[in-house]
Structure 1
Amino acid sequence: MFSAPDDATAQRMGTARAFACATLMLTDLAEEPIWGYAGRTLSGAVISAQGTGWLRVVAERPDKAHGKLWDGPKTAQELLPPAIPRPALHDIHDWQAAGWAYRAELYQHTDATVVSRSPVLAQDPALPDAWWAKLRTALDYLAEAPTERIAVREEYIRRAVPEYTGCDVGQIEWSTAHGDFHWSNLGGPELTILDWEGWGLAPVAFDAAQLHLYSLHTPATAARVRQTLGHILDTPAARVAELTICAQILQAADRTPFYKELVEPVKEYLGTTMERTA
């Protein structure tokens, strides 16, 4: 859901996608493939002998082609319960070329469309009641999934929250989270959760807090998030998650446009709701 990168990166990634299609015997159907941040990923529909699929190509320097982000989708496919609605990962192919490491991930195609082109919601998506019910169930299942992966590091929380919010952290309770739970990673009208790179342990209610704070421009939807996920958001343990998301937004506001859009509502939220729960 990001703009196309510079021409050299776009050409390199286009070449990598073409190589992946040839290697996996796929026909590229994407007239306008979808870019990830700074051209790190390139994704779009393909067709194989088994039918329509979705191909995501990831690029990293070889010394970074490992670890949490690199293996997140693979481990999510292997370890998370099927009750969490997400496209199945069918195949992976790794290779290196001209100083870059690449991974092609072939997914099940889904008819769901992302709720928002931007991570930050600009208008009420009018999602059906069944979508909200499945959202609650999915996050409850995810929270209980065992893992040693880390989505948000404690050292970051204890440094960034006081620095950017002026609030103390206190005790942190942990559960498993998606870690990047915003509106561009959610599909509808049938709930589908996308982009499992960063899943792992985070403060309790981290995903719910992120979805709520990214909805502040649309009060009706923000209220629906709190209504649906109040069983975790309206608990003392959720305060750390909310503060961490606020800190992330304020920290990155000068370099990420959609974070900048949230600065004022986040500051207002910190000055009212979070101040009362301190």
Structure 2
Amino acid sequence: MFSEPERAVSRRMLMAYADASGQLNVTTAAPPKSWGWQGRTLSGRVDTLDGPAWLRLVHAHTDRANGKLWDGPRAAEDCMPPAVPRPRLRRRLAWVMSADSYLAELYDLVAEPTVTTDSPVLRHHPDLPDVWWVTLRTALDTVSTVATDRVAVRQAYLDRAMPQYLRHEIDTTVPAWSTAHGDLHWANLTCPTLTMLDWEGWGIAPLGFDAATLHTYSLLVPEVSAQVREHLAPVLNTPTGRFAELVVVTQLLQTNSRGDNLELEGRLRHRAAELLDDLR
């Protein structure tokens, strides 16, 4: 999904990936090429005695190798009902090398591609079947009912960030909370059969957060953003859903300030103005 990081990071991660392969007794037919942001993760297909699988390696500095991002996939494996389509976690191991901590996770292989492969932002019409949307709606409804003490979005963050990045004074009090995947963009969804990937950050968020995330990452393709609004209308077409959209717009405007997702900035500003007008 992201480009290969600088050479020192790449070399360190590839060595750790080889270590993980040995400890898990898996083999690779080709070097892994699926990089996460700034080389934080490295993933690829592997072969096991039980058939093909997917190996994902996560790196963190040792003082940060804890909390929701470190434990999210394992918690999802324990808590998510079968109605939520996701790759099953088979094995997990962690180890420390000086100031670096690594986590290796072995998953069932998902053969179908993600809707986008190089960015969370949608730039084309994927022509998804109706059953895909029905499965997504059912999955999001199911996720929203899962009890958890994990937190995906914090009220304190919204109190600080929403006025800053929306450039508008607003009541930042979340009207309703529910459990969310927390990172529901197009590079975390497969097609034509739906599987929801990357469960690091799931937890409590503003009601409608997942639907709002998918809609916001669709703004460059108006036909698809309209589909999102149509299929997820019971969540999005409400005051709580519009507030959740403002939350996601805030987050992505913050990424714009760091130089990321710049192609969305104009659409984000336009959508923010529409939503703020609706909330008046």
Q: TM-score, normalised by structure 1?
A: 0.97
Q: Which of 247, 252, 272 is the equivalent residue of 1:249?
A: 252
Distance in 2, Cα, partners of 1:254 & 1:28: 39
State the 1:234 CA deviation.
Answer: 0.7
State the 1:33 CA deviation.
Answer: 1.8
**Does the alignment pair 1:161 with 2:162?**
yes
Distance in 2, Cα, partners of 1:244 & 1:256: 19
Q: Which of 261, 268, 271 is the equivalent residue of 1:269?
A: 271
**Does the alignment pair 1:235 with 2:275?**
no
Distance in 2, Cα, partners of 1:66 & 1:100: 12
Residue aligned with 1:198, SS: coil
Q: Equivalent residue for 1:24?
A: 24
Amino acid paired to 2:222:
P
State the 1:217 CA deviation.
Answer: 0.5
Q: Equivalent residue for 2:9?
A: 9
Q: Which of 164, 177, 185 is the equivalent residue of 2:180?
A: 177
Amino acid paired to 1:5:
P
Distance in 1, Cα, partners of 2:212 & 2:193: 22
Residue aligned with 2:122, SS: coil
Q: Please report the RMSD computed on the Cα atoms of aligned residues, expressed in angstroms.
A: 1.2
Distance in 2, Cα, partners of 1:95 & 1:271: 47
Gaps of 5+ in 2: none
Q: Equivalent residue for 1:37?
A: 37
Distance in 1, Cα, partners of 2:38 & 2:250: 22
1:107-127 superposed Cα distances (whole Å, 9 cap, x missing partner):
000112110021010011111
Gaps of 5+ in 1: none
Residue aligned with 1:191, SS: coil
Decide which moves more: 48-57 or 166-175: 166-175
State the 1:171 CA deviation.
Answer: 4.3
Distance in 1, Cα, partners of 2:33 & 2:92: 19
State the 1:32 CA deviation.
Answer: 4.5
Q: Equivalent residue for 2:146?
A: 145
CA contact (8 A) 1:162 1:168 kept: no
What is the aligned residue count?
A: 277
**Does the alignment pair 1:122 with 2:123?**
yes
State the 1:172 CA deviation.
Answer: 2.5
Distance in 2, Cα, partners of 1:151 & 1:88: 21
State the 1:274 CA deviation.
Answer: 3.4
Q: Equivalent residue for 1:220?
A: 223
1:129-169 superposed Cα distances (whole Å, 9 cap, x missing partner):
11111000000000111101000011001111122111332
**Does the alignment pair 1:80 with 2:80?**
yes
Residue aligned with 1:188, SS: coil
Q: TM-score, normalised by structure 2?
A: 0.96
CA contact (8 A) 2:174 2:206 kept: no
Compared with structure 1, are the counterparts of its residues 68 and 250 closer, same or farther at alpha carbon in structure 2 (3 Å cutoff)? Answer: same
CA contact (8 A) 1:54 1:107 kept: yes
State the 1:239 CA deviation.
Answer: 2.5
1:7-51 superposed Cα distances (whole Å, 9 cap, x missing partner):
011000000000011111101134452000111100000000010
Distance in 2, Cα, partners of 1:171 & 1:129: 32
Residue aligned with 2:110, SS: coil
**Does the alignment pair 1:47 with 2:50?**
no
CA contact (8 A) 2:53 2:109 kept: yes
Distance in 1, Cα, partners of 2:10 & 2:245: 36
Distance in 1, Cα, partners of 2:73 & 2:6: 26
Compared with structure 1, are the counterparts of its residues 150 and 170 closer, same or farther at alpha carbon in structure 2 (3 Å cutoff)? Answer: closer
State the 1:170 CA deviation.
Answer: 3.8
**Does the alignment pair 1:93 with 2:110?**
no
State the 1:233 CA deviation.
Answer: 0.5
State the 1:96 CA deviation.
Answer: 1.3
Compared with structure 1, are the counterparts of its residues 157 and 30 closer, same or farther at alpha carbon in structure 2 (3 Å cutoff)? Answer: farther
